[in-house]
């Protein structure tokens, strides 16, 4: 343990240490290293965020450290706790942290944990996240394109699944990036095997799907017609059910699409003025067009009561060695993506709410491109999707449902939802607006690390919040090539060096396109 200097000043969560006269070469000090100050019976720890050699042309050398917490010896055991109960005072001696100190801070936590990489400033030390705190209070992975965001998500989930093979994770994958990243651990749901019957949609989702044209007045008329038709169709199908009297337009019980059409036609037939039939005609034509379009087959492939089957598929019950369900949305028509996300999220949340807590295992819902579903601009996105994901963010932990938000554009993500995330993984972000946005969600001790965000290399990030003992800059673990998400761009310089030998790729691409198969 060497003396670095004396505390010069303390303000808030930062202290300045004067290095003059200590004999320490300031150039040898590394950002992220730990310094400590003995203060009464406690030792206050800080992480170096800035090293200055000379000030205003003078020979003064100093370092700035963000205060992290305190070390306390309890029954002979050195333990670290966040927060500072007694701040250092000017003139106190500042020293390097010892190996025991570092072990108390960065050693493997006593709580359930997984390693996700190594510390940036000390590659010999694993970087751990605590699973229950990470998942119990939601988390977010933020980073610009090319920063390694998808790889970071893969590393985090792979580490968790490796230790918890009976997990229940659902990942919404809009670009088919993750299908090959988890090998046999993942069950892939795409347009080929997706079953989301029309009757499973609640009224708001059905209206989003079926009401696509007309002015505001006509849309309101269509909504009233659809509501009556859905209620009638549900009632007819479930007329013999003991619970038929309690069925509402949103009750997740089956109905037949043709009953919906018949109800719309019957309502139109009761009109006394034919010139008021336009809302009925538009609604009917939209439903018929969906029935005839093979791209929307997953809405109509079955009209049986398969809700238990759908939940078992999503939640992996039984797990059977595949604790992760990846919902590949890349082949889904973009006009209904938000409806599908809303329906899946709502079904998972409502199942968690109404199930017996002691019987139902916790669920993790991972939302890639989260800004699409819970945007910062209330005019964008689908109200129902925003509502259900916001509800999961605010109330999900009470029902054993955790949320992971992944985005490359934090400023376009709802701040109230992001602020519910107890742990943040921040990768490279060049935009000053994004950095300022993230600063609002981070504790004081982590904010000085934000200066590194524009220059972070791929595979590095800053982790802070409930899931880690202290804020830290980490290098994420390497991924084998066959377990990396498909997020890399094309290698133009290599590909354009020679003619493509197999000219049949155009024909194969067209066949896949027409048959809705992704390569």
- pLDDT tens for residues 454-475? 888 888 999 988 999 888 889 9
The Cα–Cα gap between 449 and 461 comes to 10
Residue 57 has pLDDT above 60, yes or no: no
Q: Return all residues near 308 (Cβ < 8 A) that are at least 6 apart.
A: none
In contact, 233 and 255? CB cutoff 8 Å: yes
The Cα–Cα gap between 29 and 120 comes to 14
pLDDT grade, residue 448 (50/70/90)?
low
Rg of the Cα trace of the chain? 28
Encode pLDDT of 192-238 as tens digits: 899 999 999 999 999 999 998 878 888 999 999 999 999 999 999 88
C-alpha pair distances (Å), 307 with each of 100, 231, 252: 54, 19, 8
Residue 453 has pLDDT above 90, yes or no: no
For the beta carbon of residue 273, count every other beta carbon within 10 angstroms.
6
The Cα–Cα gap between 83 and 101 comes to 16
Q: Is 117 left (phi over 0), alpha (psi -120 to 50) or beta?
A: left
Could you identify the residue written with the tokens 């005609």?
281
The Cα–Cα gap between 461 and 218 comes to 50
Beta bridge partners of 169: 324, 364
The Cα–Cα gap between 139 and 403 comes to 7
Query: Which stretch of 114-118, 170-174, 441-445 has the lowest confidence by average pLDDT?
Result: 441-445
For the beta carbon of residue 506, count every other beta carbon within 10 angstroms.
10
For the beta carbon of residue 239, count every other beta carbon within 10 angstroms.
9
The Cα–Cα gap between 30 and 63 comes to 10
- Pick 481 or 505 by higher pLDDT: 481
pLDDT value of residue 271 = 73
**Which domains, and CATH codes, for the chain?**
3-106 (2.40.10.170), 130-195+307-423+480-506 (3.40.50.300), 199-296 (no CATH)
In contact, 425 and 152? CB cutoff 8 Å: yes
C-alpha pair distances (Å), 317 with each of 186, 320, 324: 13, 8, 11
- Pick 378 or 5 by higher pLDDT: 5
- Pick 159 or 453 by higher pLDDT: 159
Helices (H) and strands (E) in the chain, counts: 15, 18
Q: Is 40 left (phi over 0), alpha (psi -120 to 50) or beta?
A: left
The Cα–Cα gap between 236 and 108 comes to 59
Encode pLDDT of 74-89 as tens digits: 777 888 888 888 889 8
Beta bridge partners of 39: 42
pLDDT value of residue 519 = 43
In contact, 17 and 35? CB cutoff 8 Å: yes
Tokens of 152: 């970071």
Strand pairing category for 139-142 and 324-328? unpaired
**Mean per-residue pLDDT of the chain:** 87
pLDDT value of residue 129 = 95
pLDDT value of residue 55 = 59
Residue 518 has pLDDT above 60, yes or no: no
**Overall average pLDDT of the 269-288 stretch:** 83
For the beta carbon of residue 416, count every other beta carbon within 10 angstroms.
12
Query: Which stretch of 27-41, 200-214, 220-234, 484-498 has the lowest confidence by average pLDDT?
Result: 484-498
């Amino acid at each position: 343990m060497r003396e670095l200097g004396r505390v010069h000043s303390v303000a808030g969560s930062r202290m300045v240490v004067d290095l003059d006269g200590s004999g320490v070469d300031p150039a040898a000090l590394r950002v992220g290293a730990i310094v400590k100050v003995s203060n009464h019976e406690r030792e206050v720890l800080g992480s170096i965020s800035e090293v200055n050699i000379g000030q205003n042309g003078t020979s003064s050398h100093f370092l700035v450290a963000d205060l992290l917490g305190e070390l306390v010896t309890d029954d002979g055991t050195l333990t670290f706790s966040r927060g500072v109960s007694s701040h250092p005072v000017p003139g106190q001696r500042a020293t390097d942290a010892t190996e025991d100190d570092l072990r108390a801070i960065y050693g493997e936590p006593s709580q359930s944990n997984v390693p996700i990489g190594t510390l940036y400033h000390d590659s010999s030390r694993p970087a751990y996240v605590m699973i229950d705190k990470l998942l119990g209070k939601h988390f977010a992975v933020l980073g610009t394109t090319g920063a390694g965001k998808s790889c970071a998500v893969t590393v985090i989930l792979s580490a968790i699944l490796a230790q918890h093979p009976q997990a229940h994770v659902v990942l919404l994958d809009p670009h088919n990036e993750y299908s090959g990243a988890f090998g046999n651990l993942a069950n892939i749901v795409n347009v080929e095997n997706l079953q989301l019957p029309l009757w499973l949609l609640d009224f708001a989702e059905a209206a989003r799907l079926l009401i696509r044209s007309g002015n505001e007045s006509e849309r309101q008329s269509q909504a009233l017609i659809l509501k009556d038709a859905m209620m009638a169709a549900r009632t007819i199908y479930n007329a013999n059910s003991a619970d038929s009297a309690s069925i509402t337009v949103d009750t997740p019980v089956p109905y037949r699409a043709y009953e919906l059409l018949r109800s719309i036609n019957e309502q139109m037939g009761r009109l006394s003025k034919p010139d008021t039939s336009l809302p009925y005609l538009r609604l009917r034509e939209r439903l018929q067009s969906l029935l005839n379009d093979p791209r929307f087959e997953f809405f109509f492939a079955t009209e049986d009561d398969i809700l238990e089957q759908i939940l078992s598929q999503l939640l992996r019950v039984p797990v059977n060695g595949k604790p992760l369900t990846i919902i590949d949305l890349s082949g889904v028509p973009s006009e209904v993506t938000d409806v599908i996300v809303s329906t899946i999220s709502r079904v998972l949340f409502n199942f968690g709410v109404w199930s017996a807590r002691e019987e139902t295992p916790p669920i993790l819902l991972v939302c890639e491109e989260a800004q699409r579903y819970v945007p910062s601009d209330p005019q964008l996105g689908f109200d129902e999707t925003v509502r259900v994901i916001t509800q999961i963010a605010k109330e999900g932990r009470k029902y054993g449902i955790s949320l992971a938000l992944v985005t490359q554009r934090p400023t376009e993500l709802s701040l109230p939802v992001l602020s519910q995330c107890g742990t943040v993984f921040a990768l490279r972000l060049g935009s000053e607006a994004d950095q300022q946005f993230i600063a609002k969600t981070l504790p004081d001790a982590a904010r000085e690390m934000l200066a590194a965000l524009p220059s972070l290399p791929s595979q590095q990030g800053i982790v802070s919040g409930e899931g880690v003992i202290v804020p830290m800059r980490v290098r994420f673990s390497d991924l084998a090539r066959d377990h990396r998400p498909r997020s890399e761009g094309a290698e133009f310089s290599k590909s354009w060096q020679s003619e493509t030998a197999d000219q049949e790729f155009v024909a194969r691409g067209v066949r896949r396109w027409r048959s809705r198969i992704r390569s």
